[in-house]
Structure 1
Amino acid sequence: MPSKQLDLSPVQETLLLTLYARALDSKAPTPILGDTLAAAVANRIAEDTGYDFAKLKLKPSLVASTALRARKLDDVIRQFIATHPDAVVVDLGCGLDTRLARCSPPVGVDWYDVDFPEVTDLRRQYLPDRSHLVATDVTEPDWSQTLPDDRPAMIVAEGILPFLPGDSFQTMIRQLTTRLPTGELALNGYTRFAAWAMKYHPSIKALGLDAAQGFDDPHEPEHWNAGLTLVAEKLLTRTPEVAAFPQPVRALTRLMARSTAMSRQGTRILHYRF
């Protein structure tokens, strides 16, 4: 019998959507991310709370794209900490992501997982590790003062852009790049259309969310007064891992890959330096 209850807002509940997507990918014949720890955590949550992951209505396209974007963001982080073994990593809206375990940083790296208090409580229960937990609403001012300001920093923001109101994402990034001396930012960048269309996705509709934030031009963040310079825009429709997508998702993705404009409506990883 379930012994616990989950008390999460709809936005916070999206962490279960991405967790389950990574878990399903790990069980695929050819996993893209292969996050078996995510599968173990999802199983424990289902056993402890009776949470019905099936209600999230995850389609194969979402499972594949979630796994691929996580893999590509992990690659950026691994490259950074290989060059800066004393770095600070800041994972914004971390949810129940097992990124620290996947990236396995050296002991000199300080890793900060940032999310709502209800979420950091879940991390303590299901993902006890060596990360520093910052329990906050990321739109609140001054929380960045808890971060070290004397080392290069890698900021990662996966999946949170569409759900932050107004210009709060830009404000948060400005605060971080002001606090941190130098480093990089990596995020999955939604276009305005892609963010708007999310509200009609079955998984997002199941949680009652209304995502809306995005930007089209990958150079736009260079005008946020955050000291950002675009390093790369990676269109994931054109990556080799698409070969592991299930059909017909693979065929549709390869068709989209022929057009840069169409590819940008899919998943893209944006990489900046500050």
Structure 2
Amino acid sequence: MTSTETVDLRGAAATLLMTLYLRRQDARSPRPILGDPYAEEVYGRIEHDVHGLWQVTGDATTVACRAAILDGWTREFLRAEPDGQVLHLGCGLDSRPLRVGAPPSSRWLDVDQAEVVDVRRRLYTVPGHVVQVPASVTDDAWWEAVDPARATLMVAEGLFMYLPPEDVHAIVDRVVTGTPRAVLAFDAVAPWTVPVSRWTPTFRAIGTEFRSAWQPATFAHRHPSLRELDDISVYDEAAAHEPRPWVRPLFAAVARLPALQDAMRLHRFTTD
């Protein structure tokens, strides 16, 4: 009999269950966007009481589109740098190192809070070159696990909006200055979503909120060595890939409204 794991998290860490749930919904679709082959089994092994998390669960299409783009960027990096290093920050219960087939020659660090990594270790079997690091991404100590000689990709999905701006900039600085070549891939939210998050029923139920938003001028000033490769609206992607024909017009309408189009965007930068 397959064992089950009890998960009882609070704050931003609890959103990992919502993300996993939505990836499972996408995987169940006749036309999945991400098609996470691990989501169904892993979700089925979790016993949870997340205090109202499912009142508002969001949309599986946007979550799947976001993950699919980041997976694509990760595969592209590993093709170019098979001996490279991936820092998977705020990894939650994401199966990304298994989905993208990280080669044995690479080094992969899954970083998240200790209670999350504890559950993760019990739910996933990962190869030896994937290292599970139990630490807050804002801690200094875990950086000792980073190989400073390897080209490095930092992937941060659903993370930076929950951190204060100075913590986000500090993480970016560490990656840029601590590795010979860096690529950074992350999502960010529009400024108007920060105050709105404080009144979202789901976030209020689990005790979290957004704490920072995308400020392109500030980011460019703070990190002048970075060159932007991509800036993608998640809603543009959702409008293009939504599998339900009757929902596509809704995403297309949202994608044409500047405020909503910018609600969540994906960014990729490089030090090259």
TM-superposed deviation, 1:123: 1.2
Residue 68 in structure 1 maps to residue 65 in structure 2: yes
TM-superposed deviation, 1:225: 3.5
Aligned twin of 1:97:
94
1:6-44 CA-to-partner distances (Å, cap 9, x unmatched) read: 342322211111111111111123211111301210101
Residue 121 in structure 1 maps to residue 122 in structure 2: no
Aligned twin of 2:206:
207
TM-superposed deviation, 1:187: 0.4
Aligned twin of 1:110:
107
TM-score of the superposition, structure 2-length normalised? 0.88
Q: Secondary structure at the residue paired with 2:139?
A: coil
Residue 163 in structure 1 maps to residue 162 in structure 2: yes
Instruction: Choose 165-174 or 5-14, whichever is displaced more.
Output: 5-14
TM-superposed deviation, 1:251: 2.0
Question: For residues 42 and 140 of structure 1, do their structure 2 counterparts lie closer, same or farther at Cα, with a shift above 3 Å needed?
Answer: same
1:224-265 CA-to-partner distances (Å, cap 9, x unmatched) read: 247322111012322376342546643221012224453112
Aligned twin of 1:233:
231
Q: Secondary structure at the residue paired with 1:223?
A: helix
Q: Distance in 1 between matches of 2:162 and 2:40?
A: 25
TM-superposed deviation, 1:87: 0.7
Aligned twin of 2:174:
175
Report the residue type matching 1:70 in the other structure: A
Q: Distance in 1 between matches of 2:92 and 2:104?
A: 22
Aligned twin of 1:197:
196
CA contact (8 A) 2:50 2:206 kept: no
* Identical residues among aligned pairs (%): 29
Instruction: Choose 140-149 or 122-131, whichever is displaced more.
Output: 140-149
Gaps of 5+ in 1: none
Q: Secondary structure at the residue paired with 1:57?
A: helix
TM-superposed deviation, 1:98: 0.4
TM-superposed deviation, 1:206: 2.9
Aligned twin of 2:7:
6
Gaps of 5+ in 2: none
Question: For residues 164 and 148 of structure 1, do their structure 2 counterparts lie closer, same or farther at Cα, with a shift above 3 Å needed?
Answer: same
Trace 1:52-63 onto structure 2 (pairs within 5 A).
Answer: 52=49, 55-57=52-54, 61-63=58-60
TM-superposed deviation, 1:169: 1.2
CA contact (8 A) 2:236 2:255 kept: yes
Report the residue type matching 2:138 in the other structure: T
TM-score of the superposition, structure 1-length normalised? 0.88
TM-superposed deviation, 1:106: 1.7
Q: Distance in 2 between matches of 1:5 and 1:236?
A: 32
CA contact (8 A) 1:57 1:202 kept: no
Question: For residues 237 and 5 of structure 1, do their structure 2 counterparts lie closer, same or farther at Cα, with a shift above 3 Å needed?
Answer: closer
How much is the aligned-residue C-alpha RMSD, in angstroms? 2.4
CA contact (8 A) 2:66 2:266 kept: yes
Question: For residues 242 and 61 of structure 1, do their structure 2 counterparts lie closer, same or farther at Cα, with a shift above 3 Å needed?
Answer: farther
Question: For residues 101 and 32 of structure 1, do their structure 2 counterparts lie closer, same or farther at Cα, with a shift above 3 Å needed?
Answer: same
CA contact (8 A) 2:18 2:57 kept: no
